A and B are shown apart, each in its own frame.
Chain A
Amino acid sequence: GNSVTQMEGPVTLSEEAFLTINCTYTATGYPSLFWYVQYPGEGLQLLLKATKADDKGSNKGFEATYRKETTSFHLEKGSVQVSDSAVYFCALSPSGGSYIPTFGRGTSLIVHP
């Protein structure tokens, strides 16, 4: 079956530090890949997505590149802010007509001033 593995949290950084949250996946075919963010007390929001190999999704200074050879979709940001503190979920949507998405368990990011 499909699976998504994320690095364990919490990730604790100082403001303006570089962020990487690792995500690897297992799936057949060519799934679409997503990063969702959940701010405290709010629902999940789509942060970025990539639908085919070598695509780069980007939004709000965050980036992730769909790497089929390493089955990875790592999230990066060059300079984090306190307001980026949230839980980040990596997810995949399978190809081939199925629609059931698979989420990782989430990685908590805490950014200190």
Chain B
Amino acid sequence: GAGVSQSPRYKVAKRGQDVALRCDPISGHVSLFWYQQALGQGPEFLTYFQNEAQLDKSGLPSDRFFAERPEGSVSTLKIQRTQQEDSAVYLCASSLAVEADTYEQYFGPGTRLTVT
């Protein structure tokens, strides 16, 4: 029984490098969310997909952040020209639906990004 998987689990990048973080959601899940979690904080919403459509990217902190889900399954979060403030855990979650009463998200283990 596969849950949500993310890769890599850990990534160290030098400032200015580009990184790509991958999320494999649960098969059949329509909705996919990306979050950024700083140390000692709760997850902060970044962006949301319904199938391949990116319906909301209001949480992306800058235009260096880009996310895609071209076939409605796997998603990639790309960060260009990384900065130290990008250091955080990036969480992916998928959900079967978006209606509030069935709104259960299944989270991956996260990718811990450290920018040096």
Contact = CB atoms under 8 A, between A and B. Distances in A.
A23 B63 CA distance: 34
Contacts of A44: 43, 91, 93, 105, 107
Contact of B100 (A32, A46, A104): A32
Interface in B17-49: 31, 33, 40-45, 48
Interface residues of A, number: 25
**In terms of DSSP, what is the predominant structure of the interface of chain B?**
loop
Nearest to A91: B42
Interface string A82-113: 00000001010111000111111110000000
Contacts, number: 60
A20 interface: no
Interface residues of B, number: 27
Given A93-B100, A95-B100, A99-B103, A43 B110 contact: yes
A45 interface: yes
Contact of B42 (A51, A95, A103): A103
Contact of A42 (B40, B44, B58, B109): B109
Interface in B89-116: 91, 93, 98, 100-101, 103-110
